[in-house]
């Protein structure tokens, strides 16, 4: 604990200057994330330290030192400059979790261009909207994903270059396409980094939100100040760690904490580019001796479903600290992880728009299973009365999670959509769109999305609370809770449930689960209907899409489904 200090100690006299000083940055200096994540680490004497250990589903592993990633990002940056790309141009990364995705991200930032990472499983229409909205000048992709780009090319006049990695032996290149092989390109040692400043744009991440088309969240190079320090303090990243962040850099977790935080801290990280399987994940932790593991509740629940016996087959003694992100972490998952790994998962709360962790269970702080934790030092978080638009004077009431909009990695706007950006504020507070309550000790407890809260007969019911209770029933594998229309109560609770192996859907089980919830929570929280389903709609980053289930119940437009796992 000594290297990060206690939560209460850190709150006293906190200033983001702590991070600036550690990074050797002074206001007004050039600040380039690509340089800070590579060249700076080499200058600190860690040039030969492993930076990235990559493993795919097939083929040999690849290992890169900090000097390797410095040279590789220089080489990619020089190549992009050679194509005539300018600072401020948007360059899309549309790849699986291959090394070029991580190295390309840094290379793009080094030359002052804006990185636009997109999840490689997007279909052509999802890809089209985002490339068109960003007016991307180039896309770096793989041979396997090129057909999607070709399909929409005639509608993208701004897209000048399609850079294909791993093109060897493929069909002839087509219009606007070029092949790039990092291993065959001559490494570039001396390289002029573009002099980006604190407010220079860095990353453009697209987020779906609950309504409307996806919006481009614009971040700047100064975000490094918060990503570095939250990586060090909230994730407890240490110099000797082997770090595994399971998130894809197509999503913000995969860039803020899968690239920027670990590399700016000079940490060794490993990447597994393969689908989820409990056995292969445990093997990976054992083989790589992972010490800090950052994952998602969906994955944790899938591991729970796989059972406790499989855990005993592997030596997971290297694990030192576990954290979770992406959606609220159910208390059962925290208790389970304590039981099987001997340590809890620490829930962290943040968004694409916040750029970094803003509320979390801080290392060394008491973990209260099911709680979001407390605001990170330097972040002011409150529960806002949605009528008065001011913080509740006392804890206990459910309200809007709101933040004072002043930490370094906050978004600067939505790309070409300032109007939507301004709608995120009420009474000077940034509104996250989530609801929670505060307890007497200042811990936040998630209650649901602002538009997910169920108002049944004037009583507010938290879908998350019902879902957490459902997961405690021995038959339930996963659950999603929404409101459904009711002529008397206006809306009542409906649950969608997937069952664990060995259980069969039926009226008896239906009643048993209903009574289980009625006893556990209250008659108002008890689902009036349970629908047993084979699977729940999820985004590719693993979040359950309650709004799709809600829309079906209410006969509403489903809206944008581009981030769905199986759309």
pLDDT score, position 376: 97
Q: How crowded is residue 10: how many other Cβ atoms within 10 Å of its Cβ?
A: 17
Both 87 and 118 in one domain: the answer is yes
560, part of any domain? no
Of 413, 355, 349, nearest in space to 228 by CA? 355
Q: What is the DSSP string of 505-528?
A: -SHHHHHHHHHHHHHHT-TTTS-S
319, part of any domain? yes
CATH number of the domain that 283 lies in? 3.40.50.12780
Both 381 and 477 in one domain: the answer is no
Which residues have CB under 8 Å from 56's CB, separation 6+? 98, 273, 274
pLDDT score, position 567: 46
Both 44 and 137 in one domain: the answer is yes
275, part of any domain? yes
270, part of any domain? yes
Token code pair at residue 282 = 């445990």
Give the pTM: 0.86
* 3-state class (DSSP) for residue 98: coil
258 - beta bridge partners?
Answer: none
Token code pair at residue 454 = 């169920």
Q: Would you say 115 and 109 are in contact if contact means Cβ atoms under 8 Å apart? A: yes
350, part of any domain? yes
565, part of any domain? no
pLDDT score, position 3: 59
Q: Give the integer Cα–Cα distance in Å for 132 and 214.
A: 12
Residue where one domain finishes, among candidates 438, 461, 483: 438
Q: What is the C-alpha radius of gyration for the chain, rounded to an integer number of angstroms?
A: 23
How many domains does the structure of the chain reveal?
2
User: Which residues form the domain of 525?
Assistant: 452-554
Both 387 and 516 in one domain: the answer is no
pLDDT score, position 259: 98
Both 168 and 192 in one domain: the answer is yes
CA 91 to chain centre: 20
pLDDT score, position 364: 86
Distances (CA, A) of 125 to 107, 122, 130, 562: 27, 8, 9, 8
Both 372 and 412 in one domain: the answer is yes
Q: What is the DSSP string of 136-191?
A: -SEEEEEGGGHHHHHHHGGG-TT--EEEEES-TT-SPP-TTEEEE-TTTSPP--S-
Residue where one domain finishes, among candidates 395, 414, 438: 438
Q: Give the integer Cα–Cα distance in Å for 382 and 481.
A: 26
Burial class (CB in 10 A: 0-12, 13-18, 19+), 3: exposed
Both 216 and 154 in one domain: the answer is yes
58, part of any domain? yes
Q: How crowded is residue 62: how many other Cβ atoms within 10 Å of its Cβ?
A: 15
pLDDT in tens, the chain (567 residues): 445 678 988 999 899 999 999 999 999 999 999 999 999 999 999 999 999 999 998 878 999 999 999 999 999 999 999 999 999 999 999 999 999 999 999 999 999 999 999 988 887 878 888 999 999 999 999 999 999 999 999 999 999 999 999 877 767 899 999 999 999 998 999 999 999 999 999 999 998 644 457 899 999 999 999 999 999 999 999 999 999 999 999 989 999 999 999 999 999 999 999 988 999 999 999 999 999 999 988 889 889 989 999 999 999 999 999 999 988 888 999 999 999 999 999 999 999 999 999 999 999 888 999 999 999 999 999 999 998 999 999 999 999 999 999 999 999 999 999 999 999 999 899 999 899 999 999 999 998 877 777 877 656 677 887 898 899 999 999 999 999 988 767 789 999 999 999 999 999 999 999 999 988 877 778 999 999 999 999 887 788 888 899 888 988 877 777 666 654
- The single-letter DSSP state of residue 274 is S
Phi, psi of 383 (to 5 degrees): -105, 120
Residue where one domain finishes, among candidates 438, 461, 488: 438
476-486/490-499 β-pairing: antiparallel
Q: Give the integer Cα–Cα distance in Å for 94 and 97.
A: 10
CATH number of the domain that 461 lies in? 3.30.300.30
Both 323 and 393 in one domain: the answer is yes
Q: Would you say 159 and 174 are in contact if contact means Cβ atoms under 8 Å apart? A: no
Both 379 and 525 in one domain: the answer is no
pLDDT score, position 460: 64
Both 388 and 466 in one domain: the answer is no
2, part of any domain? no
Token code pair at residue 273 = 């580019």
Find the helix packing angle between 331-341 and 297-306, rounded to 10°.
Answer: 60
Which residues have CB under 8 Å from 350's CB, separation 6+? 325, 356, 357, 358, 359, 360
pLDDT score, position 64: 98
Both 189 and 280 in one domain: the answer is yes
pLDDT score, position 521: 77
Phi, psi of 87 (to 5 degrees): -55, 140
Both 521 and 374 in one domain: the answer is no
């Amino acid at each position: 604990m000594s290297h990060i200090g206690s939560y209460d100690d850190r709150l006293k006299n906190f200033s983001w200057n702590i991070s600036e000083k550690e990074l050797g940055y002074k206001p007004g200096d050039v600040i380039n994330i690509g340089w800070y994540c590579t060249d700076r680490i080499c200058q600190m004497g860690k040039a030969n330290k492993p930076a990235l250990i990559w493993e795919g589903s097939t083929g040999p592993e690849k290992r890169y030192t900090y000097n390797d990633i410095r040279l590789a990002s220089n080489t990619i940056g020089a190549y992009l400059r050679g194509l005539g790309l300018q600072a401020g141009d948007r360059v899309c990364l549309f790849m699986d979790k291959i090394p070029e995705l991580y190295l390309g991200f840094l290379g793009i930032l080094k030359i002052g261009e804006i990185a636009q990472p997109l999840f490689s499983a997007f279909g052509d229409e999802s890809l089209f909207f985002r490339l068109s909205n960003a007016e991307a000048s180039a896309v770096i992709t793989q041979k396997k994903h090129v057909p999607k780009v070709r399909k929409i090319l005639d509608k993208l006049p701004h897209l000048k270059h399609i850079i294909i990695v791993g093109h060897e032996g493929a069909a002839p290149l087509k219009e606007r396409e070029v092949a790039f092989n990092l291993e065959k390109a001559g490494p570039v040692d001396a390289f002029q980094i573009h002099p980006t400043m604190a407010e220079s744009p860095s990353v453009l991440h697209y987020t779906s939100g609950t309504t409307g088309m996806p919006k481009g969240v614009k971040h700047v190079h100064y975000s490094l100040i918060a990503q570095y320090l939250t990586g060090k303090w909230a994730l407890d990243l240490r110099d000797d760690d082997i770090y595994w962040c399971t998130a894809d850099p197509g999503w913000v977790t995969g860039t803020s904490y899968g690239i920027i935080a670990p590399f700016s801290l000079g940490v060794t990280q490993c990447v597994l580019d393969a689908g989820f399987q409990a056995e292969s994940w445990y093997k990976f932790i054992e083989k790589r001796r992972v010490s800090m593991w950052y994952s998602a509740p969906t994955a944790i629940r899938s591991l729970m479903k796989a059972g406790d016996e499989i855990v005993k087959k592997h030596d997971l003694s290297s694990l030192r600290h576990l954290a979770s992100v992406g959606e609220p972490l159910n208390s059962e998952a925290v208790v389970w992880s304590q039981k099987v790994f001997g340590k809890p998962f620490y829930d962290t709360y943040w968004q694409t728009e916040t750029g970094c962790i803003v509320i979390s269970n801080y290392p060394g702080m008491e973990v209260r299973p099911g709680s979001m934790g407390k605001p990170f030092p330097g972040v002011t978080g409150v529960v806002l009365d949605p009528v008065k638009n001011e913080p509740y004077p006392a804890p206990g009431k459910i309200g809007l999670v709101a933040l004072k909009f002043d930490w370094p990695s906050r978004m600067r706007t939505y790309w070409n959509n300032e109007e939507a950006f301004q709608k995120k504020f009420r009474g000077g507070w940034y509104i996250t769109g989530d609801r929670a309550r505060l307890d007497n000790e200042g811990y936040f407890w998630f209650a649901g999305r602002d538009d997910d809260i169920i108002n049944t007969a004037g009583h507010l019911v938290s879908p998350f609370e019902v879902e957490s209770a459902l997961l405690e029933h021995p038959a339930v594998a996963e659950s999603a809770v929404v409101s459904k229309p009711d002529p008397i109560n206006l809306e009542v609770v409906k649950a969608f449930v997937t069952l664990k192996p060995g259980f069969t859907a039926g009226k008896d089980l239906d009643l048993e689960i209903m009574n289980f919830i009625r006893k556990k929570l209250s008659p108002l929280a008890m689902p009036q209907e349970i629908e047993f389903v084979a699977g729940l709609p999820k985004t590719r980053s693993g979040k359950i899409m309650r709004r799709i289930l809600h829309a079906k119940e209410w006969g509403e437009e489903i809206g944008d489904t581009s981030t769905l796992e199986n759309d």
